[in-house]
């Protein structure tokens, strides 16, 4: 399986101040999503410009060639002994029915992940970038790899 889920640490983005427009308390990631859109645009990757909010984070659309993808990002607070981290995952942008059938995670091309890796891996704001296979991550295997 391809590693399409990422984690990293950063203190550059809001993780403490709830905003009035958050649909849930602690729904951080708005500024991070905008920052990634800008990083992708600097590399000639069409992204955003709009970002949206979900129950647990923020998302935006980006294109690799003519294929649309979505990156969802959110903050996972620490447990008091460890600091929190950011979690994100790539989805294919598919229609409603295909989405219901679980096709958002199928057929993600390597370039869709590599453009994100390139945009994040050399940023001083990003610490300990790791890539994970989603099923393994959900099973608690969080070591990951420094590359996709």
pTM here is 0.91
Question: Within 10 Å of residue 78's Cβ, how many Cβ atoms?
Answer: 12
CA distance 4 to 101: 19
Strand order in the sheet with 67-76: 47-54, 57-64, 67-76, 85-92, 5-9, 127-132
Whole-number CA gyration radius for the chain: 15
Residues 6+ apart with CB under 8 A from 53: 21, 22, 23, 27, 30, 59
pLDDT tens, position by position, 118-127: 999 999 999 9
Instruction: Please tell me the least confidently modeled range out of 21-25, 57-61, 81-85, 92-96.
Output: 92-96
Is the pLDDT at 98 greater than 50? The verdict is: no
pLDDT tens, position by position, 29-53: 999 999 999 999 999 999 999 999 9
- Band the pLDDT of 104: cuts 50, 70, 90: low
């Amino acid at each position: 399986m391809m590693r399409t889920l990422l984690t990293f640490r950063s203190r550059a983005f809001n993780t403490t101040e709830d905003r009035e427009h958050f649909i849930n308390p602690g729904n951080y990631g708005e500024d991070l999503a905008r920052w990634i859109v800008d990083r992708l645009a600097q590399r000639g990757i069409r992204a955003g410009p709009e970002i949206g909010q979900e129950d647990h984070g923020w998302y935006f659309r980006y294109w690799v060639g003519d294929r649309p993808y979505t990156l969802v990002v959110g903050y996972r607070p620490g447990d008091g002994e460890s600091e929190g981290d950011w979690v994100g995952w790539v989805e294919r942008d598919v229609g409603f029915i295909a989405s219901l059938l679980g096709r958002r995670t199928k057929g993600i091309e390597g370039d869709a992940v590599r453009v994100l890796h390139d945009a994040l891996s050399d940023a001083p704001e990003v610490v300990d970038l790791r890539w994970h296979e989603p099923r393994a991550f959900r099973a608690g295997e969080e070591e990951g790899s420094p590359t996709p």
